[in-house]
Amino acid sequence: MAATASALAALGLAGCGGGSEGEGGGEVTLEFAQWWEPELPDGTFRALMDQFEQENPGITVELLSGPYASTKEQLVAGAAAQTMPDVVGLDGAWVSDFAKQGAIADLTALMAEQGYDDGELASQVTIDGATYMIPVVNFVYPMFANMDLLESAGLTQMPSTREEFEETAKAVAATSPGVSGWALPLSLEAPNGAQNDIMSWVWASGGSMLTDDGKPKLVGNDDVKSASEFIKRLWDAGVVSPGAFTMKEQDKVEDFTNGRVGLMIDSLAHVHTIREGNPDLTFDISALPAVAGYDGERGMPYASWGIGVSGSTEHPAEAWKLVQFLMSAKVNASLSNDAKAFPGNTTATPDYVNSDEILKKAFEIWSAGRPANEFVGLPVSETLMRDFEEQFQAYLSGDIDVDTMLSNTQQAWDEAF
């Protein structure tokens, strides 16, 4: 209870029930919790909210902004206490849990009530046939490479296969005692490394961690075993950056930005962060390396800035107006352009596609590959990631072998399902 109260206080939610300032045509304040504003150029997201307020007199938007990890922790606390902000930024991994708690609203019903045509929405995240999250913008997770470090190692090209990646990581790590080849975040507190940095190697070569009917398949899965053994070789070779077991996504971005690591798998959302943090850094991106000989579509890990509405908001109609505003073609294109992401509205076209070489390449990677994130919409998705990482840490440490790791994780996942 103390932890929940502390988290709610940090987000400004303790004792509030949705940010109302009046009913019956009076002023309404919508609380909007998300991690997006800190990752966007200064002032751009607030400017969109100001535009919304101008177009919708009587509605004010209060932004509750913080880093991804703390936003997630605060929303979990709010869900438990039924004090979610009116509008919430969502990760697809959270949707199943929040929906089962009744913490987020059935958007299918809300769209019907408001007479909204969803024909321009690129995708929707559903549970039992009902939509609970709409992806506002989508981020591919390509491989980033510090080209200055690669050049120092005598390399001029980014790796395309696992074997080339291993050679590149070793060569970069050998350039300096303070430099590592690859960043691998495995924090149990924010366990999305299982999704972005481990299973991504499976998806890149057309593999899957699930059966055809969506059940876990880790035992007897050569694709998952092969990717696990590949990462173990990198670990044993000493090319993984130190502190992996407590590293979070923002930590690897900081290490990459400051030239302490040569390679990382990361969200396109951080291009702006990297450039702002180190304007002199020369970096490039590519699709994730695949197993040698694979010539099919490369699965690309991706994540979305998803949006949902609180299941306990006192202002569902006004909250939906904000969702609808962000999903409109012109606004969605503007937000996608600022975020350097792919739009959630099928008719929106961001300007960056033709004006930025890195982002143009990202668009080509996205267009040529196959979006892949099998954790989205799974029950207790973050628990599944944490279960995997707990066993994976033991495997990397040499306490268990790969088959035991997969068997233990399979058992935990079966129980969760």
User: What pLDDT score was predicted for residue 168?
Assistant: 97
Rounded Cα distance, 181 and 355, in Å: 30
- Do domains 2-140+303-367 and 143-300+379-416 share one topology? The answer is yes
Gyration radius of the chain over CA positions: 21
Residue with tokens 């066993």: 391
Strand partners, 301: none
User: What pLDDT score was predicted for residue 26?
Assistant: 66
Q: Write down the domain spans for the chain.
A: 2-140+303-367, 143-300+379-416
| Fold for the domain defined by 143-300+379-416 | D-Maltodextrin-Binding Protein; domain 2 (3.40.190)
Rounded Cα distance, 417 and 134, in Å: 24
User: What pLDDT score was predicted for residue 46?
Assistant: 97
DSSP codes joined into one string, 245-311? GG--HHHHHHHHHTTSEEEEE--GGGHHHHHHH-TT--EEEEPPPB-TT--SPPEE-EEEEEEEEBT
Distances (CA, A) of 97 to 79, 204, 304: 9, 27, 17
User: Residue ranges of the chain with pLDDT lower than 70?
Assistant: 1-26
User: What pLDDT score was predicted for residue 379?
Assistant: 81
User: What pLDDT score was predicted for residue 300?
Assistant: 85
Rounded Cα distance, 322 and 320, in Å: 5
Torsion of CA 283, 284, 285, 289, to 10 degrees: -100
Picking from 68, 132, 142, 139, the residue whose alpha carbon sits closest to that of residue 343 is 139
> Which pTM value belongs to this model?
0.74
Q: Residue 213 CB: number of other CB atoms within 10 A?
A: 5
Let me know how long the chain is. 417
Architecture of domain 2-140+303-367: 3-Layer(aba) Sandwich (3.40)
Rounded Cα distance, 384 and 322, in Å: 32
Query: Which SS3 state, helix, strand or coil, does residue 314 take?
Result: coil
